[in-house]
Amino acid sequence: MESERLTDMPEKYGELCLQETAAEILCVSTRTIRRMVKDGRLRAADARIDVRSLARYIDAPWKPKRKSGKLDFYAASIRR
């Protein structure tokens, strides 16, 4: 079943929107939008963002796994 958002957002913003518009919709910076496209959370066509991918992200957001750093390893090793 398709959510209302998947049909409403393209009617309001069109099929594709500028990165600035996508950033306003999600309340993030344009840099974050570029990162989200790069890691696959959003789809893009050139410099424009697919509005349906924005709607899907709003319905079911996900975050990429955080990479462990040296400090995480150190902190885990000294826990008691």
Reported pTM = 0.71
φ/ψ of residue 52, rounded to 5: -65, -35
- Residue 60: pLDDT above 80? yes
Residue 1: its pLDDT value, please? 46
Q: 1-58: per-residue pLDDT in tens?
A: 467 888 899 999 999 999 999 999 999 999 999 999 998 999 999 889 999 999 999 9
- Residue 72: pLDDT above 80? no
The more confidently predicted of residues 28 and 61 is 28
Residue 2: its pLDDT value, please? 62
Helix 4-13 to helix 51-59 angle (10° resolution) is 140
Spatial contact of 33 and 26, defined as CB atoms under 8 Å apart? yes
DSSP per-residue string spanning 37-74: HHTTSS-EETTEEEHHHHHHHHHS---PPPPP-HHHHH
- Residue 73: pLDDT above 60? no
The two counts, helices (H) then strands (E), for the chain are 5, 3
